[in-house]
Structure 1
Amino acid sequence: MTVRVASAAVVVGVALAAPVVTGGAAWALPQAAEGQATVSVLHAVPGLTVDVYAGDKELLPDFKPGTLTDPMKLDAGSYDIKVFKDGDGPDGTPAIEKTVDVPEGANATLVAHLDENGKPALDAFVNDTSKIPAGKARLTVRHVAAAPAVDVRADKKPVFKDLVNPKEAKGEVPAGNISADVALAGTDTVAIGPAELDLAEGSNTVVYAWGSAKAKDLALKTQKLTGMHSAPSGVPAGEGGQAAARNQLVPVGALTLGTASALTAVLISRRLRTSR
């Protein structure tokens, strides 16, 4: 099977859990050279640890749920990946064996997560790295949990409504600190949070909701992309601080967790055989 990651920076899913788990390292976006891609991967399928191999070479042992890789440059090309349940490789039968194709210029977040019905899925989201008006920040929320539609609130006021798995919503808001939570759509019933977010000027704060409502292991995880400032003289007209929600998704398809972990392995090693 060949998986193609369209133009985007890659991260693998996040969970909606109580207590809320957050992480928010600020990452300046690495610039991929010609013939390369920039990729991050988030493993957001609860309860399953895997080992990732390239042929018979172990690349990523004991890859645990909730792990988000740093963004990395990698050479574009095809990668032969074998994924085993933790401890089963390399002499056993792989749970999945895939050929993964990573195209030049990819800038995406790849998320291995649960779909609304609790089955493993894989989706790639475009990371919006366009310039942000002076004094503002970009907030992106991605619903990758086995949970119904939700409203995302800032200081208890809905910012994005009726967000469903596996969609995202984003908008530009005034820079500063907010208290964010996730409520069941159309209600004040909080499913996750609150969590304090620092929306720095010129940054894109990406918040992932992942896990399973049924298993009661929902959580939040954050990723912060920086370096998108605009000069004050170039500030376009704003919208009074209201986040203009836009659903945007670059689907890779409903794949298995093994494929998500395979793409993670691609990030960890550049020593794989590249077929152009």
Structure 2
Amino acid sequence: MRFLPLRRGTAVGAAALVTFCGLGALTATPAFAATSQVSVVHGIPGQNVDVYVNGEKTLPDFAPGKVAGPLSLAEGSYDLVLTKPGDDIGQALLKVDDAEIPGGANISLVAHLSADGTPTLTPFPNDVSKVDAGQARIIVRHTAAAPAVDVRAAGEPVFENLTNPKEAKADLPAGDVEADVVLAGTDTVAVGPADLNLKEGTATIVYAVGSAEDKSLDLVTQSITGLHSAPGGVPSGSGGRADGGLSPAWYGIAAAGLLMLALGARRSVLGSR
């Protein structure tokens, strides 16, 4: 699967992907400004990227299947460019100018393929509300170039007819679960099975990524902690491929982003498919 430039005006809508190294060097946002918890998931197969923020390369060689962050980001405005590793900033795969980051959110921004295989960015607000004692939250997100799917646990459908880029979620008893993804209404396995450890007081987010046509379907997981009913810490997260083949992406720099759906403000992207 080759990484295709995004079509102008598609996919991102009001998307704003923000990546930075050293917030103080990039923004004059006051220290008392509200912050957001933000993470980025790379779910486009076959293409690492370099990420530039305000003209500075801040996240080199960001690989598919990785989860970067989360990080507490102050409110502010940033410019972003994504290129193939080593390419000049003028050879952008994606450009977002004046990306506005408000405060008080917990969001995962996913670079993935749309249902028709177009690279796109989709923000997902993360449910970080408390869970009951002994419970864990599972969230499944369809972010693959694939038809509608059912998600099964121990062979039984839990979420049915999930389409790209929709999500489904439930609070379940904490414990180990074997999950797989099948084509909707069938027993034809598209992804998995994968063993998931749903820990008490956490949210486990499972992303179906890749392309059915290119046979690159995979699962990427992200975990958000600190959701115990009693105070147990600030919600945070980590993640990687569900099979454990990639470790969490802690680079000392972070990638983060937000889609301002309510405002409907569109951001421009470069290139055509």
Q: Is the aligned partner of 1:187 residue 2:177?
A: no
Structure showing the higher strand proportion among its residues = 2
CA spacing shift, 1:143–1:251, aligned 2, 3 Å = farther
Cα drift, residue 33 of structure 1: 7.2
Structure-1 separation of matches of 2:58 and 2:200 = 37
Partner of 1:97: 95
Structure-1 separation of matches of 2:109 and 2:68 = 10
CA spacing shift, 1:255–1:153, aligned 2, 3 Å = farther
Letter in 1 for 2:78: Y
Letter in 2 for 1:144: T
Cα drift, residue 94 of structure 1: 3.1
Letter in 2 for 1:138: R
Partner of 2:149: 150
The 8 Å contact of residues 5 and 106 in structure 1, kept in 2 or not, is answered as: no
Instruction: Write out aligned runs for 1:18-33 (5 A).
Output: none
CA spacing shift, 1:226–1:41, aligned 2, 3 Å = same
The 8 Å contact of residues 3 and 101 in structure 1, kept in 2 or not, is answered as: no
Cα drift, residue 220 of structure 1: 0.7
Partner of 2:118: 119
CA spacing shift, 1:89–1:137, aligned 2, 3 Å = same
Cα drift, residue 209 of structure 1: 0.5
Cα drift, residue 75 of structure 1: 1.7
The 8 Å contact of residues 37 and 103 in structure 1, kept in 2 or not, is answered as: yes
Runs of 4+ in structure 1 over 6 Å off: 253-258
Q: Which runs of 5+ in 2 are unaligned?
A: 1-8, 19-30, 231-258
Q: Is the aligned partner of 1:73 residue 2:72?
A: yes
Partner of 2:165: 166
Letter in 2 for 1:158: P
Instruction: Write out aligned runs for 1:44-63 (5 A).
Output: 44-63=43-62
Cα drift, residue 151 of structure 1: 0.5
Structure-1 separation of matches of 2:14 and 2:268 = 15
The 8 Å contact of residues 4 and 102 in structure 1, kept in 2 or not, is answered as: no
Partner of 1:83: 82
The 8 Å contact of residues 105 and 125 in structure 2, kept in 1 or not, is answered as: no
The 8 Å contact of residues 152 and 182 in structure 2, kept in 1 or not, is answered as: yes
Letter in 2 for 1:47: G
Q: Percent identity?
A: 52
Instruction: Write out aligned runs for 1:120-269 (5 A).
Output: 120-230=119-229
Cα drift, residue 61 of structure 1: 1.8
Structure-2 separation of matches of 1:82 and 1:125 = 21
**1:125-152 Cα deviation digits (max 9, x unpaired):** 1111111112211111000000001100
CA spacing shift, 1:93–1:206, aligned 2, 3 Å = closer
Cα drift, residue 106 of structure 1: 2.4
Structure-2 separation of matches of 1:197 and 1:33 = 39
The 8 Å contact of residues 5 and 124 in structure 1, kept in 2 or not, is answered as: yes
Letter in 1 for 2:179: A
Structure-2 separation of matches of 1:44 and 1:184 = 20
CA spacing shift, 1:56–1:229, aligned 2, 3 Å = closer
CA spacing shift, 1:33–1:168, aligned 2, 3 Å = farther
The 8 Å contact of residues 39 and 69 in structure 2, kept in 1 or not, is answered as: yes
Provide the TM-score with structure 2 as the length reference: 0.71
Letter in 1 for 2:218: A
Give the total of aligned pairs: 217
Structure-2 separation of matches of 1:41 and 1:155 = 29
Q: Which runs of 5+ in 1 are unaligned?
A: 11-31, 232-249, 259-276
Structure-2 separation of matches of 1:255 and 1:210 = 24
1:187 aligned counterpart, secondary structure: coil
Structure-1 separation of matches of 2:149 and 2:32 = 39
The 8 Å contact of residues 50 and 62 in structure 1, kept in 2 or not, is answered as: yes
Provide the TM-score with structure 1 as the length reference: 0.70
1:70 aligned counterpart, secondary structure: strand
